[in-house]
A and B are shown apart, each in its own frame.
Chain A
């Protein structure tokens, strides 16, 4: 894909996608077009939420931006550099806890530094600082399985922050948490985001979450995933989620999403009917 040599895109945007698509298992019988024709620009420090029915390729796009998978169409840039491999500048946080169970909390947080061969004191200092930011400094020497789900996700955020990323990629990070914890985690994330100045790309299928967090909501169509519309949200923060404005947004997003879910269902029914 990137055989044309030097990147010819000079925007300093945090993420730039041009004509990006992904076909899984390309060239085989099981080839499956998950994502196509994605054009997207994310400004530095912007909070962008990906909203779409499940299976529409949101995670796939996040993987492409992270550099964990190669795009089969188009190209991606981050701060002017072509995305070809994973980079510590772009940290990924997953839905299920992805902490290393054999390491303590602080060792998890400083894993990236230990990869670079940092000394123990340096690692502990950086870990303490990052854990301080997520309010879990006291849990430094605990093991992941001694923590609750919400705490584990905060540790995962601290681990990402310790790399001082410019882009935080979050794949339904709070989906496994209960409603109250999730609301708290959203506030917490907004604080972290403000402090770090990083761009956040956040995947969810919860409309409430999108309204609570996003500067812009990217709504996806289903199968293959395309960008259907981008809905800007310019409500001031902290947001009153019970305001008329928030309600209007929720209704708008629900309508957009319902079309897609309906379409996905119809497709599935057609598939099972022919099978």
Chain B
């Protein structure tokens, strides 16, 4: 998307060469910029937490139902016992043995994160592969696209029984859920990205004698990369949501299972604690992906500042 938008900008060709000066300025401010970002993130979260605490202080929020942050974060040791129950609740093992509460939270968080990560990678590779094949081979397009379009509106929830039938419990069904929730949309997104690649770029390669395979490998794939990473980031949160559903319905252990446990034992503190952990994990994941995006797409200017001048 980004590439296409940039190329069709009528002023782009005529624009003066400001990037050099701008990037020097950015470099000198980079240190401050970073601090400022952390400051605003903290402020944003504090404001939200503060409002919640205020509601509690005024007696509007019942601490049995909506315990404010200082309550659900205060007894991590207590909450931690509910994490990583797979090892803790084994027969013949005492509740007090095994990893500490903190370690348990880490282990469970890592398990869920790993599923999201693996699912996301698998879904992206499969979807980009299939999307490119659909455009590359006409017959593949006719053969496969109708089914993909048919399946893409199906809610991930509907795939849950299939995941269980096919994979039982453990990592596999949770990963399957993530893949199946993202795959179909990402195939359609890939095709859309390919269709919007600037024709001039393709024609330049054609006049230079590039074969169809070369045009795909050296023009189309790099040209759709920015858009695809954007799609990936959009789908990251979708992956997080689906993995929780998969875990909470018994196809595995993890953050989703803890939420379900909290629900069944009526433990609001645990619910909010888990939500906080998921939030932090998702936030970190998105941040890492943004870093990777900037690394991989070195040639794209930062467009976030465009609307600031308004």
**Are B16 and A148 in touch, CB under 8 angstroms?**
yes
Which residues of B have CB within 8 Å of A45?
none
Which residues of B have CB within 8 Å of A144?
299
Answer whether A86 and B201 are a contact pair too, CB < 8 Å, given A101-B6, A148-B15, A176-B14. Answer: no
Which residues of B have CB within 8 Å of A92?
203-204, 207
Contact mask for chain A residues 80-116; partner B; CB cutoff 8 A; 1 contact, 0 none: 0000001110111011111011100000000110111
For the complex, what is the distance from the CA of A148 to the CA of B20, rounded to whole Å?
Answer: 11
Which residues of B have CB within 8 Å of A159?
204
**Are B300 and A101 in touch, CB under 8 angstroms?**
yes
Shortest beta-carbon distance from A159 to chain B in Å: 8
Q: With an 8 A cutoff between CB atoms, is A178 at the interface?
A: yes
**A-facing residues in B189-241 (Cβ within 8 Å):** 198, 200-201, 203-210, 214, 218-219, 222-223, 225
> How many residues does chain A have at the interface if contact means C-beta atoms less than 8 Å apart?
37
Which residues of A have CB within 8 Å of B206?
68, 86
For the complex, what is the distance from the CA of A253 to the CA of B63, rounded to whole Å?
Answer: 84
For the complex, what is the distance from the CA of A141 to the CA of B285, rounded to whole Å?
Answer: 33
A68 nearest CB neighbor, chain B only: B203
Q: With an 8 A cutoff between CB atoms, is B301 at the interface?
A: yes
Q: With an 8 A cutoff between CB atoms, is B307 at the interface?
A: no
**Are A98 and B204 in touch, CB under 8 angstroms?**
yes
For the complex, what is the distance from the CA of A68 to the CA of B208, rounded to whole Å?
Answer: 11
**Are A100 and B16 in touch, CB under 8 angstroms?**
no
A-B contact count (CB 8 A): 92
Contact mask for chain A residues 131-151; partner B; CB cutoff 8 A; 1 contact, 0 none: 000000000000111111101
For the complex, what is the distance from the CA of A227 to the CA of B231, rounded to whole Å?
Answer: 48
**Are B209 and A88 in touch, CB under 8 angstroms?**
yes
**Are A87 and B207 in touch, CB under 8 angstroms?**
yes
A90 nearest CB neighbor, chain B only: B207
Q: With an 8 A cutoff between CB atoms, is B12 at the interface?
A: yes
**B-facing residues in A230-259 (Cβ within 8 Å):** none
**Are A145 and B299 in touch, CB under 8 angstroms?**
yes
**Are A176 and B10 in touch, CB under 8 angstroms?**
yes
> Among A98, A112, A147, which residue has its beta carbon within 8 angstroms of that of B201?
A98
Shortest beta-carbon distance from A228 to chain B in Å: 28
Which residues of B have CB within 8 Å of A166?
none
Shortest beta-carbon distance from A208 to chain B in Å: 18
**Are B19 and A145 in touch, CB under 8 angstroms?**
yes
> Among B3, B200, B299, which residue has its beta carbon within 8 angstroms of that of A94?
B200
For the complex, what is the distance from the CA of A116 to the CA of B198, rounded to whole Å?
Answer: 23
**Are A101 and B299 in touch, CB under 8 angstroms?**
yes
Q: With an 8 A cutoff between CB atoms, is B7 at the interface?
A: yes
For the complex, what is the distance from the CA of A146 to the CA of B225, rounded to whole Å?
Answer: 20
**Are A86 and B209 in touch, CB under 8 angstroms?**
yes
Residue from B8, B218, B225 having most chain A Cβ neighbours under 10 A: B218
> How many residues does chain B have at the interface if contact means C-beta atoms less than 8 Å apart?
33
A93 nearest CB neighbor, chain B only: B204
Q: With an 8 A cutoff between CB atoms, is A22 at the interface?
A: no
Q: With an 8 A cutoff between CB atoms, is A128 at the interface?
A: no
> Among A68, A143, A147, which residue has its beta carbon within 8 angstroms of that of B207?
A68
Which residues of A have CB within 8 Å of B16?
148
Shortest beta-carbon distance from A112 to chain B in Å: 4
B214 nearest CB neighbor, chain A only: A115
Q: With an 8 A cutoff between CB atoms, is B17 at the interface?
A: yes
For the complex, what is the distance from the CA of A66 to the CA of B203, rounded to whole Å?
Answer: 10
**Are B198 and A98 in touch, CB under 8 angstroms?**
yes
**Are A97 and B13 in touch, CB under 8 angstroms?**
yes
**Are A163 and B17 in touch, CB under 8 angstroms?**
no
For the complex, what is the distance from the CA of A148 to the CA of B21, rounded to whole Å?
Answer: 13
Q: With an 8 A cutoff between CB atoms, is A153 at the interface?
A: yes
B2 nearest CB neighbor, chain A only: A101
**Are B200 and A112 in touch, CB under 8 angstroms?**
no
**Are A86 and B207 in touch, CB under 8 angstroms?**
yes
For the complex, what is the distance from the CA of A112 to the CA of B207, rounded to whole Å?
Answer: 9
**Are A98 and B200 in touch, CB under 8 angstroms?**
yes
Shortest beta-carbon distance from B201 to chain A in Å: 6
**Are B200 and A66 in touch, CB under 8 angstroms?**
no
**Are A177 and B14 in touch, CB under 8 angstroms?**
yes
| Residues of B that sit less than 8 Å from A by CB | 3, 6-8, 10, 12-17, 19-20, 198, 200-201, 203-210, 214, 218-219, 222-223, 225, 299-301
List 8 interface pairs A-B (beta carbons < 8 Å), by A numbering.
A86-B206, A96-B10, A98-B200, A102-B225, A111-B204, A148-B16, A153-B13, A177-B13
The 7 closest A-B pairs by CB, nearest first: A112-B208, A98-B200, A176-B13, A149-B13, A86-B207, A148-B17, A149-B14
Given contacts A143-B299, A146-B19, A153-B13, 10 further A-B contacts (CB under 8 A): A87-B209, A97-B12, A97-B13, A98-B200, A101-B299, A115-B209, A116-B209, A144-B299, A145-B299, A159-B204
